[in-house]
Amino acid sequence: MPRPLTVAAAQLGPIADDEPRASAVARMIALMEKAHRRGVELVVFPEAALTAFFPHWYMEDQAAIDRYFETEMPSAETQPLFDKARELGIAFHLGYAEIDGEHRYNTAILVGPDGTIVSKYRKVHLPGYRENEPWRPFQNLEKRYFERGNLGFPVVDALGGRVGLCICNDRRWPEVWRILGLQNAELVLLGYNTPQHDPASPAIDHLQDFHNHLSLQAGAYQNGTYVVATAKAGLEEGCEMIGGSCIVAPTGEIIAVASTRGDELVVADIDLDRCKEIRSNIFNFTAHRQPDLYTAIAEPMTAARPAPVPAK
């Protein structure tokens, strides 16, 4: 029986460092109103959608760092987004930097059409490094500013299906997709802030969009799930970020994709029941997985593994 749903990736262009949260929220509300006019039931906003992506620069003063974090959700500044969603009866996904006591996380929530938070995830695969590397034109300091998430990889019943969350760099790791797939995810939501330029491997900068889509498409196909993936894109405080926000079918096909690096709405009609086409056949996990042979995947990384450059 079809389980139709109309979903949107609500891509954001850059957010300037001096742009107030109220402005970012207003831009998201404008996209949400547009989505409503197109019959959308779920809007996916990017990772860390309320501010500039501050891990791109180095800071030492904790008070300066904490300016980018939310201490409550909703807050006075984000309440209008929740109010608009409830008014329109639209569910939404929002990424933000979260303070919880002494702990800081890169977080995403799923908010139901009634305005209540129905799922929450804290990013596990924090990319980058911990100390300033001044030779770089911009930094990648997520490991400095965030702790590893402590909420697992959640999948919840929502919107007529099973909805999973992950964030940005998580999407490159097949382990994440599989753990969501093992929980029968049918729709995975994620946001990303991905620089066009990687100072550590500039020879493959031209492949950033390809690698983004390859990771999303493989994750979708190999787990039989839809994906809505949303970028914060464009030139933000000196760092150009890819767009390519998209909606991917459980066949791995990209069925809708952004064509700008600014604020842009990407919409698709999906049918969650189509996940079965993959999961009942080629990726019938019960019939075909061999988990007793996968133990190496969960073993600690050690220096004892063979070196990558053997003799000829």
Integer CA distances (angstroms), 158 to 41, 116, 258, in order: 12, 12, 25
Does the active-site annotation cover 47?
yes
Q: Please confirm, yes or no, whether 168 is among the known catalytic residues.
A: yes
The nearer residue to a second copy, 83 or 157, going by C-beta atoms, is 157
Q: How far is the CB of 40 from a second copy (least distance, A)?
A: 17
Query: Which of 37/276 has CB closer to a second copy?
Result: 276
Q: How far is the CB of 78 from a second copy (least distance, A)?
A: 27
For a second copy, give the closer residue by CB, 100 or 277.
Answer: 277
Pick the catalytic residue from 120, 142, 168, 246. Answer: 168
Judge whether 143 and 125 are in contact, CB under 8 Å: no
Length of the chain: 312
Sorted by sequence, the CB contacts under 8 Å of residue 298 that are 6+ apart come out as none
DSSP 273: G
Q: How far apart are CA 160 and CA 140, in angstroms?
A: 37
Shortest Cβ distance from residue 196 to a second copy (Å)? 14
275 is catalytic: no
Identify the active-site residue in 70, 123, 166, 264. Answer: 123
Residue among 44 and 278 whose Cβ is closer to a second copy: 278
State the nearest-atom distance from the C-beta of 293 to a second copy, in Å. Answer: 6
Distance CA 148, CA 125 (A): 7
Catalytically active residues, by annotation:
47, 123, 168
